[in-house]
Amino acid sequence: MYPSPGVVERIGPDWDWIWIDSQHGQIDYSDALALVRACNLVGVKAFVRVAGHERGPIAVALDTGADGIIVPQVENADDARAIVKAAKFPPLGERSYGARRCIDREGRLYVEEANIRTEVICQIESPDALERAEEIAAVPGVDGLFLGPDDYMLRQGLSMNTPRTEETLGEAFEKLMAACKQHGKKGMAVGIGDGVPQLCSRLGYHYIVGGTDVSFLANTSTTKSAELRKALEASANPTATSDGKPSFY
């Protein structure tokens, strides 16, 4: 979510792939390029989520040398076909040739393997889209489907505080993965919530989200600050401010 290649350098090796969010994160093209480079440095896959279906942003995201793109709010097979046209080179699609970084690193013939090596993941975010998951997965050039749990739950009238569990999302996860398996495509899911990682594993999902830089930072900061406050308050001679409370940073 945050444009910090240093974070990828430091904690990226803990993971198998990194989701670079150019839709809701604070990330522009230059940031995405730097983050993809950091992923290359530590040897993990980089997926860039683009902001929409427009050809320009899709091509630019792939020009960074990313391993794939995640495209939000794919509602039907027509959406998927248009995305494939933007993301894949001829004869499968109509992506423009000339990615500077890809040519610099791999030579002009990178194009011959690009359609296989770069993955197009269509994000399913509504009940209607989930009903059409099979037809979306059937589109040639679509490499996988990703259930967007927040928007899916929101469109069912559920609060964003509703726990993500097998009871609330299990049926949707099963339906999406069934569509993927039927057409030989990969499944991507957010594996956060009580029993959700185990569910994703049982169903055969290929890519499972384990958390975000935001949550890692916030959760650790909250825990450590609480520990320090407790330690200072237990001290016989704490450093104090004018109101008598321990002060630290």
The span from the CA of 84 to the CA of 53, in Å, is: 10
DSSP state of 140: T
Sign of the Cα pseudo-torsion (148, 151, 153, 159, in order): positive
> Could you give the CA distance from residue 160 to residue 108 in angstroms, rounded to a whole number?
47
Reported as half-sphere exposure (CB side, CA atoms, 13 A), residue 15 has a value of 22
Q: State the Cα–Cα distance between residues 181 and 176, nearest whole angstrom.
A: 9
**Share in percent of the chain as helix, strand, coil (round to 5):** 50, 15, 35
Instruction: Return d(Cα 45, Cα 12) in angstroms, integer.
Output: 10
105: left (phi over 0), alpha (psi -120 to 50) or beta: alpha
Q: Is 24 known to be catalytic?
A: yes
> Catalytic pick from 24, 53, 183, 206?
24
Active site residue ranges: 24
